[in-house]
Homo-oligomer: A and B are copies of this chain.
């Protein structure tokens, strides 16, 4: 990889030492003078109406400072993901801090703030609630039936929270011209983010009427606006900030962190004291957003030569009790999965459906992993039907730059073919059929692959812009202020590299302020793999702006034209000759009564990252256990600003993909209760399940991205499940239409196959 300033260097993360030594500060670490602790009473029913609620006994308990219910909090309706979807989508505002009608087991009924957590817990037991149980529905296909219980009143059909219809070409004609048509149905599970830090907020309402909320949110600025609206305050009086670290998020804290922020804020206002509210792990599992489960149908038509003619993709996603990001997720599932290949005739039909399960929302991949599992399993089956090598089939149809496609922005760069070729080489694809398929001990091995694409941003699907300040100090160092949070992905480091390189100074001269609405300009938050791609454009612009101003000043000093000057690594050069250090220039500017402030204000574009994953698995035919031995993950990231951080992102998301493929799921019992509500019951991959992961970075230099970068944060999760399922098929000849492929399912299928 070519470096350019600090771009392309695997520099250590600026938060590494603080995190390694345990002194980094997270929301749960905060202690304010007089701070109270909050606990929440949650619905025991999947669907019920509150008939009456009596908090008198709870309020009498010594140490209880405030009890909040729907009776003393705002009626204002909102969408806790802070969705600002653009037309034709519309943000669905169907939640209240405390809903009058409860729509899943765990829905918020009341909250208590007390001197200690123990007192708050005891107070919950003293709240008397009379519920009227209502009929419930848990499956989205059931919920669509005309006689299903209505989770919400909906205008466009029973329990439909949102829909997306994306047409291109003539689907009927496409299928008519196809030689082979496959139609497959897939079922996807509910899974959870399992970020280390649960939803947390500390709220302080000052005597002067300013609300400050420290929290785990991934979107401080949009949340600031939402809290202002909820509490009827000017947005400038609300400050939302990360403290500054977040212990992971993966989408679970897009907008609100569960309801940690509004509940802490409401209690702080009622009690007149700061309030801390930290979800316990059970609350995280049952009462914060999940990945959307659902049903996906893929109908794919191809000619005998392998050229795809038509793709019909249908998704019915279960968004649970509230819409949250569901309509947006439904759209992204379609946009991403009809865009991997050049197919002249496509149609995506997505439905987002309410049920009485935990609300689903944003989770790394945002619908894409669901669709990818379905589409890439089907492509694998098509290859078999065509008698073609699965990679050959994919290469034949792969997207190329500026080919027609459905997204409302061009595909300017596409390294998918290169990803496939390099990944194939790494995994030994060419020899996969001569692979030692039977290593003994009743085990079989196989290699599978899957390809995918994603977005780098939410533009133009939602409100999308970014801003950055880059203030140059008297000594030539610089302070970057940008509104994004760093939820653990290392963005503070990467954006500092962008700032340093754009301005032309070394990385150690840049400091960064982030995740604080009071000290940074607006940013829509960290999600959609957008943070580097999108905020990076504003940071790069701010750096360029500052550099230009410095060179103009230096040109005056050096009696030359700014165009003849460059600023590199802290040195101003004229025609390549060092003339003045940045520190000297900055000091002179300071003494000339001026601070150089670079301003970046951008409306970032969008661009597709590309990825091909290759998995080698070993299946124990006696136990059904599946082990991923090796995973080669080739990614077109546009440009790797910090290769170590990019690799880290891909490693983590591959692991989440392995869990998605093989072990993770939440199921509901007949009373709508979540069977998995702890790490003991929910099977995350551990180090034991971690394969050798080879990350291959492909650089295509996306013209719309900062220094050529595209999104990467979510991508490693996207094709992992399909690659593994395809490898399982390669090893065993057994095709799964449902994940996770647990040991039980695998063993059942092996037995079933043996009987055939």
Contact = CB atoms under 8 A, between A and B. Distances in A.
A178 to B, nearest CB: 41
Interface string A501-529: 00000001111010011111110000000
Interface in A214-246: 224-225, 228-229, 234-237, 239
Interface string A14-26: 1111101101000
Nearest to A23: B207
A400 interface: no
Contacts of A510: 236
Contacts of A235: 473-475, 477
Contacts of A475: 225, 228-229, 234-235
A123 interface: no
Residue of A16, A224, A464, A477 contacting most chain B CB atoms (<10 Å): A477
A585 interface: no
A477 B593 CA distance: 30
A696 interface: no
Interface string A569-607: 000000000000000000000110111010101010000
Contacts of A469: 469, 521
A210 to B, nearest CB: 7
B519 A518 contact: yes
A279 interface: no
B509 A234 contact: yes
Contacts of A434: none
A465 interface: yes
Given A469-B469, A473-B234, A479-B236, A522 B207 contact: no
A481 interface: yes
Contact of A473 (B209, B210, B225, B478): B225
A599 B601 contact: no
Contact of A236 (B225, B478, B522, B603): B478
B236 A463 contact: no
Given A236-B479, A473-B234, A475-B225, A594 B599 contact: no
Contact of A519 (B209, B236, B516, B591): B516
A601 B229 CA distance: 32
A537 B518 CA distance: 21
A303 B593 CA distance: 44
A521 B510 CA distance: 15
A723 interface: no
Contact of A601 (B521, B597, B601): B597
A681 to B, nearest CB: 34
A472 to B, nearest CB: 9
A471 interface: yes
Given A18-B208, A21-B207, A207-B18, A595 B521 contact: yes
A597 B599 contact: yes
Contacts of A116: none
Interface string A467-501: 10101011101110100000000000000000000
A593 B597 contact: no
Given A236-B473, A475-B228, A465 B594 contact: yes
Contacts of A519: 481, 513, 516, 518-520
A33 to B, nearest CB: 8
Given A236-B511, A475-B228, A593 B465 contact: yes
Contacts of A517: 479
A206 interface: yes
A529 B597 CA distance: 26
A698 to B, nearest CB: 30
Contacts of A481: 518-519
A234 B586 CA distance: 12
Contacts of A594: 465, 601, 603
Contact of A599 (B15, B599, B603): B599
Interface string A272-291: 00000000000000000000
B210 A511 contact: yes
Contacts of A518: 479, 481, 511, 513, 519
A465 B23 CA distance: 37
A710 to B, nearest CB: 20
B513 A208 contact: no
Contacts of A479: 236, 517-518
Nearest to A204: B23
Nearest to A473: B235
A18 B206 contact: yes
A392 to B, nearest CB: 42
A471 B516 CA distance: 13
Interface in A238-257: 239
A595 B236 contact: no
Contacts of A228: 473, 475, 477
Contacts of A603: 593-594
Given A15-B208, A210-B511, A521-B471, A477 B595 contact: no
Given A477-B236, A595-B601, A208 B522 contact: no
Contacts of A477: 228, 234-237
A473 to B, nearest CB: 4
Contact of A593 (B463, B508, B509): B463
B21 A593 contact: no
30 contacts: A15-B208, A17-B207, A17-B209, A18-B206, A18-B207, A20-B207, A21-B207, A29-B33, A210-B511, A225-B473, A225-B474, A228-B475, A228-B477, A234-B473, A234-B475, A234-B511, A236-B477, A236-B478, A236-B479, A236-B509, A236-B510, A463-B593, A467-B597, A471-B521, A518-B519, A521-B595, A521-B597, A594-B601, A595-B601, A597-B601
Given A234-B473, A235-B473, A239-B511, 12 more contacts: A17-B206, A18-B207, A84-B591, A229-B475, A234-B508, A234-B511, A237-B511, A467-B595, A471-B521, A474-B522, A479-B518, A481-B518
Which 7 A-B residue pairs are closest in the complex by CB-CB distance? A519-B519, A234-B477, A235-B473, A17-B207, A236-B477, A236-B511, A465-B593
Interface of A: 14-18, 20-21, 23, 29, 33, 84, 206-210, 224-225, 228-229, 234-237, 239, 459, 463-465, 467, 469, 471, 473-475, 477-479, 481, 508-511, 513, 516-522, 590-591, 593-595, 597, 599, 601, 603
